[in-house]
């Protein structure tokens, strides 16, 4: 799947790679779920089947859960870099910015956690990584001037700015690359702020990537929740 950029196509198309996700990157969300603040990034991976990419997506409600929840996030499209990427500036590691939904079967995740089992299936089902188009790094504001908002059926549910993150992009990428070789087209979900919650069939989600001023919208992203097909 080619990853597209908002507006004009990027000169060199990006084929999607690994979907890396960082958890526990906003203090208020950590408190919301009753977790401890980590010393290092908490990382998990979603499989290829999870990815849905575009400006207007659908998300199917899995029949295995009664507690499908949304987590809105800023998503980074990575340039690559291989192993042991040094923590230099964002221009060296980020090809584009987007927004996305990390969808979670929360009841299943809690069940797996309580048994000490892996919880991949609660995070990696079909369509659980909903990703917008990307804005090229070169035409976007600096990372520390970005924010995003998430609305469900017109109601604001999440809003955050990048200065609320515990780990910077440089820190996240450098930490990850000590173990995993990063390649062009890999994506990094950077964590969700407070305000996560349940979804129902028929819900319409709108996410906006904006500057620290929410009225300065850079990108719109739409997802509708439908029955599993």
Q: What percent of the chain has pLDDT over 70?
A: 94
Phi and psi for 114 in degrees, rounded to 5?
-65, -25
Q: What is the mean pLDDT of residues 157-179?
A: 94
Q: What is the pLDDT of residue 9?
A: 53
As a whole number of angstroms, the distance between CA 71 and CA 83 comes to 29
Assign residue 87 the CATH number of its domain.
Answer: 3.90.850.10
Q: Are 207 and 71 in contact (CB under 8 A)?
A: no
pLDDT digits (tens, 9 = 90+) for 120-155: 999 999 999 999 999 999 999 999 999 999 999 999
pLDDT of 162 over the 80 cut = yes
Full-model pTM? 0.93
* Rounded alpha-carbon distances, angstroms, from residue 182 to 23, 48, 53, 214: 18, 16, 20, 32
Beta carbons within 8 Å of 100's beta carbon, 6+ residues apart: 72, 73, 74, 75, 129, 130, 131, 132, 189, 207, 221
Structural domain count of the chain? 1
Nearest to residue 44, comparing CAs of 72, 24, 71? 24
- Domain assignment of residue 133, given as a range: 2-227
pLDDT digits (tens, 9 = 90+) for 32-80: 766 777 889 999 999 999 999 999 999 999 999 999 999 999 999 999 9
């Amino acid at each position: 799947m080619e990853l597209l950029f908002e507006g004009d196509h990027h000169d060199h198309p990006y084929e999607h790679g690994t979907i890396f996700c960082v958890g526990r990157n906003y203090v208020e969300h950590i408190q919301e779920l009753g977790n401890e603040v980590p010393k290092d990034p908490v990382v998990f991976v979603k499989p290829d089947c999870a990815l849905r990419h575009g400006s207007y997506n659908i998300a199917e409600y899995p029949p295995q859960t009664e507690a499908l929840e949304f987590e809105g996030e800023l998503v980074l499209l990575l340039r690559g870099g291989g192993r042991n990427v040094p923590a230099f500036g964002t221009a060296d590691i980020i090809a584009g910015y987007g927004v996305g939904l990390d969808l979670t079967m929360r009841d299943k995740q809690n069940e797996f956690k309580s048994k000490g089992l892996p919880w991949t299936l609660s995070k990696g089902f079909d369509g659980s990584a909903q990703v917008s188009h990307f804005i090229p790094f070169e035409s976007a504001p600096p990372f520390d001037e970005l924010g995003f908002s998430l609305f469900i059926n017109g109601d604001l549910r999440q809003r955050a700015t990048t200065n609320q993150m515990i780990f910077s992009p440089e820190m996240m990428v450098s930490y990850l690359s000590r173990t995993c070789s990063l390649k062009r087209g890999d994506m990094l979900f950077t964590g969700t702020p407070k305000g996560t919650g349940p979804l129902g069939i028929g819900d319409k989600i709108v996410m906006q990537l904006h500057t620290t001023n929410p009225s300065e919208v850079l990108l719109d992203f739409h997802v509708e929740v439908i029955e599993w097909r």
